[in-house]
């Protein structure tokens, strides 16, 4: 994975052009830069948004052909813009883009008109100067009025599109609800779909980091989740890869949104602390500014057309003009005021549109507020469902061949190219992603059960730190039912699943009456987890790999490579089907935490005449079978033990 870099604005422009040229680039831009209810988009140009995200640490950047943008929850946008990572200037530009687009063009026209007034005698003949200034003023008025007139039909179309069924099974209302409460990936561009996994992994971790360092803690949101919006991908291949990787990370999905969580403990949300978003005061302020500034122009125009200077029957003062305008808005005509200026008369004709627009704004905002109040439990339903379904499995191995076999098999199933390494106390733990709703962790122990890095101490530490729902010991073992040597059914490469542990190290040694040495087995014989054993038996259905054998397994801290000792063990444990060195240590640690445990290993030798020829094949077969077991139903395969 390359080191994080901050692109220049020129690189952001190049990246924006690459997005627009992509197969679904323009559709993806609609997520990060949606259309507003006016005549323009709700946010600045894409290059500006990319540069803003880069300056705030929200741009996951590999190159101009591989990048993603993440954004904070919409209901925490104010906290974000006031936080330590925010870009004050570009952030305000982004926030105020709609009113700027609404007011700046007519405002510039009015400023230009005012600037021309002092130079009219020099630049124009007086009649032509008045025409130029009047045209500029008229242009400003027409622009404002046309935008106001277009607002309602555009708002209705936007409402119908957002809150009704639309193609591809999308639900923009559900998407908006998730973006309100979680971090979201609003753009994902990768010319090579193979880079999507790296981008998504980095995006998840960066969202967790920013949520904890750049936003004040809010109990409403619990564990940060990243909402991966499928339609934000700029090509079909990128979208399909994004979905595959998200599912590999244990994502839950609904309405085209895939919710992915980072590592660490799950913190449940507090639904009572959810604050419904609202911008009613901003809309009311905008409408008030329009209504309060227009009487200035109305009074000025009427005074200019009034030759007597008194004009008692015209709205020639600010207060009278305001009274006249408000009367027009509420469909009431002041009988004592009759404007003469034709521009003012047109304003009076269009003024009744303000009333329905204002009423629509108020009713819509109040309705939205109450909708969020009614549905606040639903707003985090996916969060609760996500955390409630997730479980964690810890896979344990004892050598590099076993470790590499597990990593290869799991990453092939999850689509994640490289595992992430965590250092917990004295142990290295690989995060391998998720299969279904099960997070997978991998750790390596030393062989046996007596040295400081052996299985009992390693398992105890990891069970305390990771609190997995189940532990699977996998790798290689020796067989005790060889077809060639014992007349059994086992071949090298076959798999052994432990139904019971035989701890062969714990014995009592006595002397018989005739002076012979006599051993009494005093080791524990615990049964493997019934739940896991049942699912492993089910996983054999249709399994195309080596044969799977179920039965008791001997565990002792002896590397067995002796025919006589092997035969002694066979006589002492006649029903045992295999043996190894770590299962007893795993059981000792798991019994204390009441964790479900089981062993799945491949037969690499017979406990005599050892070679390393079959170790890799046996370890790979065992790893593939464990992955098959985890993939059953794509659901949570374990629940915490009582």
Instruction: Check whether residue 178 and residue 245 sit in a common domain.
Output: yes
Does the pLDDT value for residue 437 go beyond 90? Answer: no
Residue 483 has pLDDT above 80, yes or no: yes
Q: Is 426 helix (H, G, I), strand (E, B) or coil?
A: coil
- 241-247 long-range contacts (CB < 8 A, ≥24 apart) are 241/190, 241/193, 241/194, 241/196, 241/197, 241/415, 242/188, 242/196, 242/200, 244/415, 245/196, 245/197, 245/200, 245/201, 245/414, 245/415, 245/416, 246/200, 247/436, 247/634
* Residues 577 and 619 reside in one and the same domain: yes
How far, in Å, CA of 245 to CA of 250, rounded? 9
Mean pLDDT, the chain, integer = 79
User: Domain boundary at 225, 255, 271, which?
Assistant: 271
140-144, 308-312, 533-537: range with lowest mean pLDDT: 308-312
Q: How many separate domains does the chain show? A: 3
Q: Do 462 and 494 sit in the same domain of this protein? A: yes
- CA–CA separation, 483 vs 479, rounded Å? 10
Domain carrying residue 614: 390-634
- Length of the chain, in residues: 642
The SS3 of residue 381 is helix
Domain boundary among 388, 419, 444: 388
The Cα 276–Cα 371 span in angstroms is: 9
Nearest to 258 by CA among 77, 66, 437: 437
Asked if 196 and 264 sit in the same domain, the reply is yes
Q: What pLDDT sits at residue 604?
A: 95
Q: Which residue has the higher pLDDT, 557 or 534?
A: 534
Residue 107 lies in a domain: no
Which residues sit opposite 527 in a β-bridge? 500
Give the model confidence (pLDDT) of 101-114 as tens digits: 777 777 777 777 77
- State pLDDT tens for residues 237-288: 999 888 878 876 667 776 678 888 765 545 555 555 555 555 556 667 777 7
Same domain, 192 and 62: yes
CATH number of domain containing 436: 3.40.50.1580
- Residues 335, 193, single domain; the answer is no
Looking at the structure, tell me whether residues 364 and 418 fall in a common domain: no
* Dihedral sign, Cα of residue 600, residue 605, residue 608, residue 613: negative
Tokens describing residue 365: 């905002």
Residue 124 maps to a domain: no
The neighbour count for residue 259, using CB atoms within 10 Å, is 23
Q: In the prediction, which pLDDT does 398 show?
A: 93
Nearest Cα to 409, choosing from 221, 205, 623? 623
């Amino acid at each position: 994975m390359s080191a994080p870099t901050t692109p220049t604005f020129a690189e952001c422009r190049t990246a924006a052009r690459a997005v627009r040229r992509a197969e679904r680039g323009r559709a993806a831009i609609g997520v990060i830069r949606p259309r507003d209810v006016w005549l323009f988009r709700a946010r600045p140009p894409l290059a500006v948004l990319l540069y803003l995200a880069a300056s705030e640490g929200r741009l996951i950047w590999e190159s101009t052909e591989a990048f993603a943008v993440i954004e904070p929850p919409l209901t925490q946008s104010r906290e974000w813009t006031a936080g330590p990572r925010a870009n004050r200037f570009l952030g305000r530009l982004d926030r105020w883009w709609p009113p700027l687009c609404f007011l700046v063009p007519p405002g510039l026209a009015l400023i230009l008109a005012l600037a021309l007034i002092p130079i009219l005698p020099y630049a124009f003949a007086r009649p032509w100067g008045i025409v130029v200034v009047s045209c500029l003023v008229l242009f400003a008025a027409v622009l404002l009025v046309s935008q106001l007139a277009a607002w309602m039909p555009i708002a209705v179309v936007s409402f119908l599109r957002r809150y009704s069924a639309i193609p591809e099974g999308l639900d923009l209302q559900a998407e908006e609800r998730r973006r309100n409460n979680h971090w979201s990936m609003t753009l994902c561009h990768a010319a090579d779909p193979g880079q999507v996994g790296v981008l998504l992994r980095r995006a998840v971790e960066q969202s967790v980091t920013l949520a904890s360092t750049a936003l004040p803690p809010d109990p409403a949101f619990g564990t940060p989740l990243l909402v991966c919006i499928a339609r934000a991908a700029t090509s079909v291949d990128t979208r399909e890869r994004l979905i595959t990787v998200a599912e590999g990370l244990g994502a839950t999905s609904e309405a085209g949104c895939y919710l992915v969580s980072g590592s660490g403990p799950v913190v449940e949300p507090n639904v009572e602390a959810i604050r419904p978003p609202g911008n009613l005061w901003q809309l009311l302020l905008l409408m008030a500014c329009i209504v309060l500034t227009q009487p200035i122009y109305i009074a000025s125009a009427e005074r200019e057309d009034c030759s007597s200077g008194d004009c008692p029957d015209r709205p020639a003062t600010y207060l009278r003009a305001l009274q006249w305008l408000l009367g027009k808005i509420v469909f009431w005509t002041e009988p004592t005021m009759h404007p003469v200026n034709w521009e003012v008369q047109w304003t009076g004709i269009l003024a009744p549109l303000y009333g329905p627009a204002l009423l629509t704004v108020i009713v819509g905002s109040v309705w939205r507020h109450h909708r969020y109040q009614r549905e606040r439990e639903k707003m985090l339903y996916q969060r609760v469902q996500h955390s409630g379904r997730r479980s964690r499995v810890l896979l344990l191995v004892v050598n590099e061949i076993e470790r590499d076999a597990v990593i290869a098999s799991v990453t092939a199933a999850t689509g994640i190219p490289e595992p992430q390494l965590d250092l917990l106390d004295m142990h290295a733990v690989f995060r391998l992603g998720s299969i279904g709703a099960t997070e997978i962790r991998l750790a390596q122990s030393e062989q046996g059960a007596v040295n400081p890095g052996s299985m009992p101490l390693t398992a105890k530490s990891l069970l305390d730190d990771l609190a997995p729902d189940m532990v699977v010991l996998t790798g290689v073992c020796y067989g005790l039912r060889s077809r060639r040597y014992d007349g059994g059914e086992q071949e090298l490469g076959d798999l052994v699943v432990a139904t019971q542990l035989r701890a062969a190290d714990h014995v009592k040694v006595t002397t018989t009456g005739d002076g012979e040495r006599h051993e009494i087995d005093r080791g524990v014989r615990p049964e493997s987890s019934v739940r896991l054993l049942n699912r492993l038996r089910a996983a054999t259905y249709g399994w195309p790999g080596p044969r799977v054998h179920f039965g008791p397994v001997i565990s002792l801290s002896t590397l067995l490579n002796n025919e006589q000792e092997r035969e002694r063990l066979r006589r002492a444990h006649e029903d045992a089907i295999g043996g190894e060195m770590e299962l007893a240590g795993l059981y000792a640690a798991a019994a204390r935490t009441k964790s479900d445990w089981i062993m799945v290993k491949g037969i690499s030798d017979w406990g005599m005449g050892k070679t390393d020829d079959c170790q890799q094949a046996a370890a790979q077969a065992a790893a593939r079978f464990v992955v098959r077991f985890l993939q059953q139903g794509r659901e949570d395969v374990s629940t915490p033990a009582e």
